[in-house]
């Protein structure tokens, strides 16, 4: 799978690098919520893409083999990989937004996110 590009720089209030996204401190929570909602939708789409990518041939005969080998499998795999990349990008963007909001580094925020997901 191709590497996911990092999110553009994020500036919250006066904190953070210029040249990317800029949000006021009082609006960043709303932006984070919108991206988390998008992530929820993408995770639903990802499950559906996985179903498509894992479709099985109904029989071992020429028409089914051709459909799976030349159509469904390559297309489903591409669909699944693109959804996985988008989920990763959105996760990275949410982490960067939280880090900018909290005025900490992305690495610190990723560690916090991992610890909270672990339990």
- Domain assignment present for residue 22? The answer is no
Residue 7 falls within a domain, yes or no? Answer: no
- At 16-62, the pLDDT tens digits run 888 899 988 889 999 999 999 999 999 999 999 999 999 999 999 99
Judge contact between 92 and 10, C-beta under 8 A: no
The reported pLDDT for the residue numbered 14 is 81
| Number of domains within the chain | 1
Comparison of pLDDT for 55 and 108, the residue scoring more: 55
Q: What is the mean pLDDT of residues 69-80?
A: 93
Q: Would residue 1 count as lying in a domain? A: no
Identify the band that residue 15 occupies on the pLDDT scale cut at 50, 70 and 90: confident
Q: Which domain holds residue 109?
A: 27-114
A 10 A CB-CB count for 86 gives: 16
In percent, the amount of the chain with pLDDT more than 90 equals 63
- Token digits for 60? 């071992």
* Distance from C-alpha of 62 to C-alpha of 57, rounded to nearest angstrom: 10
Residue 119 has pLDDT above 80, yes or no: no
> Do the domain assignments include residue 13?
no
């Amino acid at each position: 799978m191709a590497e996911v590009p990092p999110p553009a720089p994020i500036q919250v209030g006066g904190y953070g690098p210029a040249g990317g996204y800029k949000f006021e401190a009082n609006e960043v929570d709303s932006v984070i919520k919108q991206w988390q909602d998008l992530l929820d939708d993408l995770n639903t789409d990802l499950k559906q893409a996985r179903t498509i990518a894992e479709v099985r041939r109904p029989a071992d005969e020429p028409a089914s083999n051709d459909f799976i080998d030349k159509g469904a499998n390559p297309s489903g795999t591409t669909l699944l990989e693109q959804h996985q990349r988008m989920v990763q990008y959105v996760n990275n963007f949410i982490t960067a937004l939280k880090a900018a909001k909290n005025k900490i580094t992305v690495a610190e925020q990723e560690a916090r996110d991992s610890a909270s997901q672990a339990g």
